[in-house]
């Protein structure tokens, strides 16, 4: 444990790149945490929205891992060869998310796509929403222009999953209605099959914790001395942008579903609008005041439709 303490930076160690990223993005981190908590609470009541979010993150991590593989296997210049050396000091295949997310999509989209080939065709050929496409394009262009920025994605995206994966699995265990029903799977088995995105080891929490510390240790050793100050500054800039992109992508999913549901009057629309108003803490007071009457009417309409159904 002593050797680990020497290589895992203390929170007050301002020389550690990870700490600098955390400090530089603290406000953005708090903002996106509050925003994502609201959106998660909402998505956990609407499985069709939740799986759209998982699909979006498939494309985000796929873009990052394409660039990771390119730098690890085919660097084109001195800076990319430098990043190859840095990445090889901490990157392990257990960190890769794309294949694991696809396993979740196989469960979440099984009613529409019964085999991996048809799902793969859907995932790879469907047009991406504008904000998501912009984020994916930005990942490729940013890393190809400044290869050191790959380290921003490695810290912000992957470490967030290490920290939040257990919480997500716990939340999803309490909301198994998000998943398609399988007669041959218990709720626990269903959660295991549908939460690969948030799982870094199938051997349990202790193994995941060891992997997390190994990641942080390797990242610290690889980045403390081998980067210039200008490279670290660029990584800090991109780290902040990642938080903004994540919020934009999640917000876009909500807006697209709202617009689609608003085009047709239905019970699904009423419950969607009612719950969105209930869970949204992002709206300004003026916005809330302007829709409070509509929300009350929605509640009455929902009750009326339910009563009509059983009378």
CATH number of domain containing 41: 1.20.910.10
| Predicted pLDDT of residue 72 | 97
Same domain, 166 and 34: yes
Residue 98 domain-assigned (yes or no): yes
29 marked as part of a ligand binding site: yes
Of 225, 246, 263, the residue that ends a domain is: 263
Same domain, 24 and 133: yes
Same domain, 47 and 87: yes
Same domain, 56 and 187: yes
Same domain, 187 and 296: no
| Predicted pLDDT of residue 280 | 52
Residue 4 domain-assigned (yes or no): no
Question: Is 223:151 a contact under the CB 8 Å cutoff?
Answer: yes
Same domain, 200 and 278: no
Q: Which of 234, 229, 226, 232 is nearest to 85 (CA)?
A: 226
Of 244, 263, 282, the residue that ends a domain is: 263
Torsion of CA 36, 42, 43, 49, to 10 degrees: -110
Same domain, 245 and 279: no
Same domain, 69 and 177: yes
**Domain tally, the chain:** 2
Residue 2 domain-assigned (yes or no): no
| Mean pLDDT, range 252-272, rounded to an integer | 63
Same domain, 103 and 199: yes
Residue 43 domain-assigned (yes or no): yes
pTM beyond 0.75: the answer is yes
| pLDDT higher than threshold 70 for residue 166 | yes
- Give the tens place of pLDDT for each residue, 275-301: 555 445 444 444 444 444 444 444 444
Residue 96 domain-assigned (yes or no): yes
Q: Which of 59, 83, 268, 40 is nearest to 174 (CA)?
A: 40
Same domain, 169 and 292: no
Q: Which of 58-72, 77-91, 266-280 has the lowest mean pLDDT?
A: 266-280
| Predicted pLDDT of residue 268 | 53
Residue 1 domain-assigned (yes or no): no
| Mean pLDDT, range 206-218, rounded to an integer | 89
Range of the domain at 142: 11-263
Residue 6 domain-assigned (yes or no): no
More confident residue, 158 or 178: 158
| Mean pLDDT, range 186-210, rounded to an integer | 86
Same domain, 208 and 239: yes
Residue 5 domain-assigned (yes or no): no
Same domain, 191 and 288: no
Report residue 228 CA to chain centroid gap: 29
CA 123/CA 98 separation, integer angstroms? 12
pLDDT band at 176 (very low <50, low <70, confident <90, very high): confident
């Amino acid at each position: 444990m002593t050797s680990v303490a020497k290589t895992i930076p203390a929170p007050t160690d301002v020389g550690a790149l990870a700490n600098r990223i955390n400090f530089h993005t603290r406000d953005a981190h708090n903002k996106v945490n509050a925003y994502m908590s609201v959106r998660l609470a909402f998505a956990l009541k609407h499985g069709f929205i939740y799986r759209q979010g998982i699909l979006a993150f498939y494309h985000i991590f796929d873009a990052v891992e394409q660039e990771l593989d390119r730098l690890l296997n085919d660097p084109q210049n001195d800076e990319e060869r430098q990043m190859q050396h840095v990445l090889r000091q901490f990157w392990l295949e257990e960190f890769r998310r794309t294949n694991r997310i696809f396993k979740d999509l196989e469960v979440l989209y099984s009613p529409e796509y019964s085999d991996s080939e048809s799902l793969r065709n859907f995932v790879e050929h469907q047009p991406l929403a504008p904000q998501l496409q912009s984020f994916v394009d930005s990942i490729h262009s940013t890393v190809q222009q400044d290869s050191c920025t790959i380290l921003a994605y490695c810290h912000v995206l992957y470490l967030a999953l290490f920290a939040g994966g257990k919480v997500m699995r716990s939340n999803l265990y309490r909301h198994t209605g998000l998943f398609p029903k399988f007669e041959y799977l218990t709720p626990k088995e269903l959660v295991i099959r549908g939460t690969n995105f948030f799982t870094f080891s199938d051997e349990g929490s202790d193994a995941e914790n060891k992997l997390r510390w190994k990641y942080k240790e390797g990242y610290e050793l690889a980045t403390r001395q081998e980067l210039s100050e200008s490279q670290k500054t660029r990584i800090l800039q991109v780290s902040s942008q990642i938080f903004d992109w994540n919020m934009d992508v999640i917000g876009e999913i909500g807006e697209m579903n709202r617009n689609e549901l608003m085009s047709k009057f239905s019970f699904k629309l009423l419950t969607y609008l009612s719950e969105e108003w209930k869970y949204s803490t992002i709206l300004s007071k003026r916005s809330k005041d302007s829709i409070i009457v509509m929300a009350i009417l929605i509640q009455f309409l929902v009750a009326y439709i339910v009563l009509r159904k059983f009378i």
